[in-house]
Amino acid sequence: MLHLGLAGNTLCAIGGTPRLYRNIPEFPADLFQTALKLTLNPAKKETIGLFMEVEAPEPQHELFDLPTEVLPTYKSIGEFYVGLEILLLQADGILNFLGASLFLTTTVPKQLGPSAIGGLFPIVDPRSALRALKIIVEQGEGCSFESDQSHYAFFKKIYENYDLDYYDVEENIDSKNHATATFYPVMVASDAAYSFLFLTLEKLWQTTDESTRQELVSKNLRGSMRSVIGRLAKFLVQQEILDPISGQPTGKYAGPPFRRHKFKGNALNDLKSCMDKAASAYPNDPELKAAKEVVDGFIDLEVA
Report, in angstroms and rounded to the nearest whole number, the Rg of the chain calculated over CA atoms.
21
**Residue of 210, 203, 205, 178 lying closest to 268 (CA atoms):** 203
Are residues 41 and 183 both part of a single domain? no
Q: CA–CA separation, 180 vs 163, rounded Å?
A: 35
Domain boundary among 133, 160, 187: 160
Q: CA–CA separation, 233 vs 235, rounded Å?
A: 5
Phi-psi region of 172 (alpha: psi -120 to 50; beta: other; left: phi over 0): left
Q: What is the mean pLDDT of residues 145-161?
A: 82
Q: What is the mean pLDDT of residues 91-102?
A: 93
Check residue 16 and give its pLDDT.
95
Q: Report whether 188 contacts 275 (CB < 8 A).
A: no
Which has the higher per-residue pLDDT, 75 or 62?
75
Check residue 51 and give its pLDDT.
86
Considering only 27-41, 56-70, 150-164, 223-237, which range has the smallest mean pLDDT? 56-70
Check residue 58 and give its pLDDT.
61
Q: CA–CA separation, 218 vs 298, rounded Å?
A: 9
Q: Is the residue at 165 inside a domain?
A: no
Residue 59 has pLDDT above 70, yes or no: no
The H-assigned helical ranges of the chain are 2-13, 45-55, 77-97, 126-138, 151-160, 184-206, 210-215, 222-223, 229-236, 267-281, 286-296
Residue 171 has pLDDT above 60, yes or no: yes
Q: CA–CA separation, 53 vs 152, rounded Å?
A: 8
Q: Coil, strand, or helix at residue 30?
A: strand
Residue 190 has pLDDT above 60, yes or no: yes
Check residue 25 and give its pLDDT.
83
Q: CA–CA separation, 74 vs 81, rounded Å?
A: 9
Q: Is the residue at 301 inside a domain?
A: no
Are residues 89 and 232 both part of a single domain? no
Q: Which domain holds residue 38?
A: 2-160
Residue 136: CB atoms within 10 A of its CB come to 22
Q: What is the mean pLDDT of residues 148-163?
A: 88
Q: How many domains in the chain? A: 2
**Residue of 146, 292, 152, 273 lying closest to 232 (CA atoms):** 292
Per-residue pLDDT band for 55 (boundaries 50, 70, 90) equals: confident
Per-residue pLDDT band for 66 (boundaries 50, 70, 90) equals: very low
Q: Is the residue at 303 inside a domain?
A: no
Are residues 102 and 190 both part of a single domain? no
Are residues 192 and 251 both part of a single domain? yes
Q: CA–CA separation, 263 vs 5, rounded Å?
A: 24
Q: Is the residue at 256 inside a domain?
A: yes
Domain boundary among 104, 131, 160: 160
Are residues 31 and 155 both part of a single domain? yes
DSSP state, residue 249: E
Q: Is the residue at 89 inside a domain?
A: yes
Are residues 101 and 200 both part of a single domain? no
Are residues 17 and 151 both part of a single domain? yes
Are residues 41 and 113 both part of a single domain? yes
Give the burial class of 209: count Cβ atoms within 10 A of its Cβ; 0-12 exposed, 13-18 middle, 19 or more buried. exposed
Q: Is the residue at 304 inside a domain?
A: no
**Residue of 41, 287, 260 lying closest to 183 (CA atoms):** 287
- What DSSP line would sit under 7-73, residue for residue? HHHHHHHTT-----GGG---SSEE-TTSS-EE----S-HHHHHHHHHHH---PPPPGGGS--SSS--
Check residue 63 and give its pLDDT.
39
Are residues 149 and 179 both part of a single domain? no
Q: CA–CA separation, 175 vs 160, rounded Å?
A: 34
pLDDT tens per residue, range 16-42: 999 999 988 888 887 765 667 788 999
Amino acid code (one letter) for 65: D
Which has the higher per-residue pLDDT, 200 or 116?
200
What average pLDDT does the structure give for the chain?
88
Q: Is the residue at 166 inside a domain?
A: no
Check residue 65 and give its pLDDT.
45
Check residue 104 and give its pLDDT.
95
Domain boundary among 117, 133, 160: 160
Are residues 220 and 281 both part of a single domain? yes
Are residues 193 and 235 both part of a single domain? yes
Q: Is the residue at 48 inside a domain?
A: yes
pTM: predicted TM-score of the whole model, two decimal places? 0.88
pLDDT tens per residue, range 267-299: 999 999 999 999 999 999 999 999 999 999 999
Check residue 62 and give its pLDDT.
43
Q: CA–CA separation, 180 vs 103, rounded Å?
A: 52
- Beta partners for 242? 249
Q: What distances in angstroms separate CA 299 from CA 38, 117, 278, 304, one per listed residue?
A: 33, 18, 20, 7
Are residues 33 and 63 both part of a single domain? yes
Q: What is the mean pLDDT of residues 120-137?
A: 93
